[in-house]
Chain A
Amino acid sequence: MTDIKAAFKNGKAFIPFVTAGDPDLDTTEKLLIEMSKSGADIIEIGIPFSDPIAEGVVIQEADLRALASGTTTDKIFDMVKQIRPQIECALAVMTYINPIFVYGTDKFMKKCSECGISGVIVPDAPFEEKDELKDYCDKYGIELISLIAPTSHNRIKMIAKEAQGFVYCVSSMGVTGVRKEITTDVGEMVRLVKSVSDTPCAIGFGISTPEQAKKMAQSADGVIVGSAIVKIVAKYGKDCIEPVCKYVKQMKEAIK
């Protein structure tokens, strides 16, 4: 069993996201270690991009802070490699296709593998373009996580049939960010996936409260939270470890 699939064996999976290098890599390092101890099942490490078109303002600003602090893809890999033994949970990276492509897709996936990163999530590489990444992912045993959206309809089965790791179910229209209400029928999205695949489904985009997480977890195998955590990091800066971990514990507890 892969690291990512195993991460769904401990009840419903809680998958927090952090932007690497926000506000600096020392803080990210501590966050990864402590979030893992606090109940995270997979941590999504965001490699910052100058123009993240799928992100709302919260993560856009985090990306800019991270880049301004001198964060680079190499520095992130170096940091993760060094602390990987102290992290129990699975790791995935989330970034855009340009930082991967320009770094060199082969070299990028090789580095992921050397750092103990098990999956990649690339929101601007849809099903039709996965050839750009797939062979390199396979070569180094990295799972390419597929996304499905409320507009996917007829595409869901096609995507799910070839899904690896987990299926990232985008709960809402638009970009990432906290939402008061999620109106999409995510249960139906998950049912379509399950009709053709046994790949776990995790729901992300817009989730921030334990109540929302609990509700989402009823119809899926896991819950992804990004902007709500990045907001805590933005508020507390280097002192964010404790409040973030408290939040992670609370969320994991809510979906157990």
Chain B
Amino acid sequence: MSKGKFGIHGGQFVPETLMNAVNEFEAAYNKYKKDPEFIAELDTLMREYAGRPSLLYYAEKMTKDLGGAKIYLKREDLNHTGSHKINNCLGQCLLAKKMGKTRVIAETGAGQHGVATATAAALLGLECEIFMGKEDTVRQALNVYRMRLLGAKVHAVETGTMTLKDAVNEAMREWTNRVDDTHYVLGSVMGPHPFPTVVRDFQSVIGREIKKQLMEKEGRLPDVVMACVGGGSNAMGAFYDFIGDESVELIGCEAAGLGVDNPKNAATIANGTLGIFHGMKSYFCQDEYGQIAPVYSISAGLDYPGIGPEHANLSDTGRAKYVPVTDEEAVQAFEYLSKTEGIIPAIESAHAVAQCIKIAPTMDKDKIIVVNLSGRGDKDVAAIARYRGENIHD
């Protein structure tokens, strides 16, 4: 029987070699998620090490400048390692350790998940190897060095489009090679069951905090929660606690690269079709024969041809809406937030900021938007300078 379904999406489409590994992981997760000691240990790490709760910041200047809805930023960029990825990595690495694993492997696109995995591995004493598309090791050279500094071995993947998709392929291949002592720390709400559920649960702290913090500040729920979506972990984390609150509109912002009508994009809900890849049934950018498309985005973290199965289902049911945002719009938002609020967002998160800039002015002043600022943008500065025609050293 197929497990881990979200509507028609999800499942466990992995080679037989990995089936006992994913089953073992599922059993361990079900055991430890109810274990008071594990919960307390993770809670302490989240608070004392990662710096949670992250702030919910009222972006007053941005709100006034745009002249519409009140804008709050959920500051996941202020977490240790600079993004939301640490939430999942601390959870999974702690779980791996409880399972007796001594080594973790992970894929990374922008490098944020790689850095967070390397960080958690260093802290918990696990051996760590990271797979990163060669193209991305160039775009995000700073993060490669950070991972090495943290004691991880970084493999530059030279197959396919040499980006996130290929890094996932290679990490899966490596996992089939060595499962006994190794846990694969998948970085997004994707892949075979139980990963989409486990990663969502570890990230759902974002939405729970938003709800509590906004209640304290405004005494009510937000009208809109928005986040960027590649595989979709920060968006799923922000959305999850609000799914039952039907008055809250959920908006995922996909990377449209050079535009949804241009082949150089990564907007899966806009352009994808139903398929089965990387362990899950979901939507993918692909051709009529099911060959996965070489997608593109300026943001290495959103440069992925698929989307997590729970998002695919939220799109099917209409509970969440997914909109495409181009490179140019994201870069403008990157610059806008830097100048207006003094906050340099990750280029991934800038996709959500861009959509906020579009819709806030169209909304009444008594409405509230929360934008999940999933990461900080230091890593992107050199790439954005290049985009603007300036060459600076990383």
Contacts and interface: CB of A to CB of B under 8 A. Distances in A.
A53 B173 contact: yes
B292 A50 contact: yes
B349 interface: no
A174 B275 contact: no
A160 interface: no
B85 interface: no
Nearest to A173: B177
A129 B165 contact: no
A53 B15 contact: yes
A148 to B, nearest CB: 6
A102 B15 contact: no
Contacts of A54: 15, 173, 176
B19 A102 contact: no
Given A98-B276, A102-B290, A125 B13 contact: yes
A128 B16 contact: no
Contact of B17 (A97, A101, A127, A173): A173
Interface in B244-303: 273-279, 281, 284, 286, 288-292
B317 interface: no
Interface residues of B, number: 40
A73 B178 CA distance: 33
B3 interface: yes
Contact of A97 (B13, B20, B179, B288): B13
Interface in B62-96: none
B17 A149 contact: yes
Given A72-B289, A102-B275, A147 B15 contact: yes
Interface string A49-61: 1110110110010
Contacts of B21: 151
Interface in A109-167: 123-129, 131-132, 147-155, 159
Contact of B19 (A50, A74, A127, A174): A127
B11 interface: yes
B173 A173 contact: no
Interface residues of A, number: 42
A153 to B, nearest CB: 7
Contact of B3 (A56, A103, A128): A128
A178 interface: no
A192 interface: no
Nearest to B172: A53
B14 A124 contact: yes
Given A50-B291, A53-B172, A128-B1, A174 B177 contact: yes
A173 B11 contact: no
A100 interface: yes
**B12, B13, B179, B288 pick with most chain A CB within 10 angstroms:** B13
Interface string A33-52: 00000000000000001110
Contacts of B278: 53
Given A98-B290, A126-B19, A147-B15, A175 B276 contact: no
B169 interface: yes
Nearest to B273: A102
Given A50-B292, A72-B289, A98-B276, A173 B176 contact: yes
A132 B276 contact: yes
Contacts of B289: 72-74, 99, 102-103
A149 B20 CA distance: 10
A13 interface: no
Interface string B166-185: 10010011001111000000
Contacts of A49: 290-291
3 tightest Cβ-Cβ pairs between the two chains A and B:
A102-B290, A174-B177, A149-B17
Interface of B: 1-3, 11-21, 159-160, 165-166, 169, 172-173, 176-179, 273-279, 281, 284, 286, 288-292
Interface of A: 49-51, 53-54, 56-57, 60, 67, 72-74, 97-103, 123-129, 131-132, 147-155, 159, 170, 173-175
